[in-house]
Structure 1
Amino acid sequence: MNWLLVIVGAMVGAPLRYLTDRTVQSRHDSLFPWGTFTVNMAGCLVLGLLTGAAAAGAASSHLQLLLGTGLCGALTTYSTFSYETLRLAKEGAGRYAVANVAGSVAVGLAAAFAGAWLAG
């Protein structure tokens, strides 16, 4: 049964990632990968909320599988983040590449902590 929860979460997360990425990126005329940044930061916030809820005893293991592993696993993307950072560096946009790495780490951690704090 656990695998089904992961599949259902991923069935929502994957198209949500694609649609959010395309929508956000279409609104920015920039080399910076705003779409990927947005979905990754949203995933950090959701995982933070879920972690805080689980620590408070308010999130079941089933909800963790559905939202944490399934939804966020398909919503967020380390591979695309890595590829886009490499692409920026190769295209001579080194400052964007550094900003992508530094921003992703800093904002991602802040979003995760904020989510955990909000859930607590």
Structure 2
Amino acid sequence: MTVLLVAAGGALGALGRWWLVGRSGATAAGGTLLVNVLGSFVLGLVAGWSAHESAPGWVLPLLGAGLCGALTTYSGHALIVVEAAREGRTRHALSDVVLSPALTLLAVTLGWSLTSP
């Protein structure tokens, strides 16, 4: 059952990433940052919610591992940084290396604090 929850959440997360990046009108770097920060915030909410004793068992597999796992993309972020560095856009690459982890950590912390017991 757990594998089906993860698969269903993953399908929703992948579609969500495709839709959000396509609709945002952002560059590849901006779209990747958007889904990573949003996914981190949602994961914080989900993790905080799942810490409650009354949280259903499907929460983490469906929404955490599945949805958020497929919505976010660390590999996409890594590729954007490498491409910027190879193209000589060092400032862009460095700002991505600092900005993305900082914003995603802030987002997951905020989400967790809003829902944790």
**Common fold by TM > 0.5:** yes
Q: How high is the sequence identity, in percent, across the aligned residues?
A: 39
After superposition, the Cα gap between the structure-2 partners of 1:97 and 1:59, relative to the gap in structure 1 and judged at 3 Å, is farther
Q: Which amino acid aligns with 2:61?
A: L
Unaligned runs of 5+ in 1: none
Aligned match of 2:9: 9
Equivalent residue in structure 2 for 1:98, among 82, 94, 98: 94
TM-score by length of 1: 0.89
Partner Cα distance (1:23, 1:83) in 2: 21
Structure-1 separation of matches of 2:23 and 2:90: 25
Deviation at 1:10, TM superposition (A): 1.0
Whether the 8 Å contact between 1:23 and 1:35 is mirrored in structure 2 is no
Task: Kindly state the Cα deviation for residue 64 of structure 1 after the two structures are TM-superposed.
Answer: 0.7
Question: Per-residue deviation at 1:58?
Answer: 4.5
Give the Cα separation in 1 of the matches to 2:53 and 2:43.
15
Distance in 2, Cα, partners of 1:34 & 1:58: 37
List per-residue Cα deviations over 1:45-86 (Å, max 9, x = no partner).
011111111223353331110000110111011111100110
Aligned partner letter, 1:111: A
Counterparts of residues 42-57 of structure 1 (less than 5 Å) = 42-57=38-53
What does 1:1-120 correspond to in 2, within 5 Å? 1-24=1-24, 26=25, 28=26, 33-120=29-116
Which secondary structure does the structure 1 equivalent of 2:58 belong to?
Answer: helix
SS of equivalent to 1:33: helix
Over residues 15-43 of structure 1, what are the superposed CA-to-partner deviations in whole Å (9 max), with x where a residue is unaligned?
Answer: 1111211222x2x4x6x710000000011
Q: How big is the shift at 1:7?
A: 0.9
Distance of 2:3 and 2:62 partners within structure 1: 9
How large is the Cα RMSD of the aligned pairs? 1.4
Number of residues of Structure 1 aligned to a counterpart in Structure 2: 116
